[in-house]
Amino acid sequence: MNLTFSSTASLMCALAICFSVAALGAKVTVPEIPTWYATLAKPSWTPPRAAFPIVWPILYFLMAISVWLIWEAPPSSLRTLALAAFAIQLLLNAVWSPIFFGNHNLLAGLIVILLLVVAIAVTIASAIKVNYFAAALLLPYLAWTLFAAVLNGRIVSLN
């Protein structure tokens, strides 16, 4: 792939958008971890607190590269569908932390994260037709979010 100015600008935009969503989530989440979240009953298989600031930046980076590769593909209705699906999943991603951590609404958080899992799967299914590698980059995100959905569901049942 030839990195032109336009392509580099698109990559920087993808990184900025994805990491802005990450920053929004962190802003809401981080203050709640030692306070409200610490008081919740959680299953024994809850990842250690240190895992989250390691895993999520990697996932947001992979998301940015994925959407950039989709954007760089030749224009088509399939590309438009993949970009729309990506935007929907990113929006759901952006609202989960304010709902779960900000509003302390466990059940609404579960509903949003289940919708997010579906939206990520739809994004992958549509992206695979545009750029196989872009779709593959989203698989760790799907796996982690599916795990987070199960964790969210268990937290709902315990609290």
Q: pLDDT digits over 55-92, tens only?
A: 999 999 999 999 999 999 999 999 999 999 999 999 99
Q: How far is the C-alpha of 146 from the C-alpha of 83, rounded, in Å?
A: 21
pTM for this prediction? 0.94
CATH number at residue 61: 1.20.1260.100
Number of folded domains that form the chain: 1
- Measured CA distances, 62 to 35, 37, 45, 78, 134 (Å): 30, 27, 25, 20, 9
Instruction: Give the pLDDT confidence of 92-146 residue by residue, as tens digits.
Output: 999 999 999 999 999 999 999 999 999 999 999 999 999 999 999 999 999 999 9
Q: Which two tokens stand for residue 146?
A: 């599916």
Residues constituting the chain: 159
Task: Determine which helix (DSSP H) or strand (DSSP E) holds 137, and give its type and residue range.
Answer: helix 132-137
Range of the domain at 153: 5-41+50-158
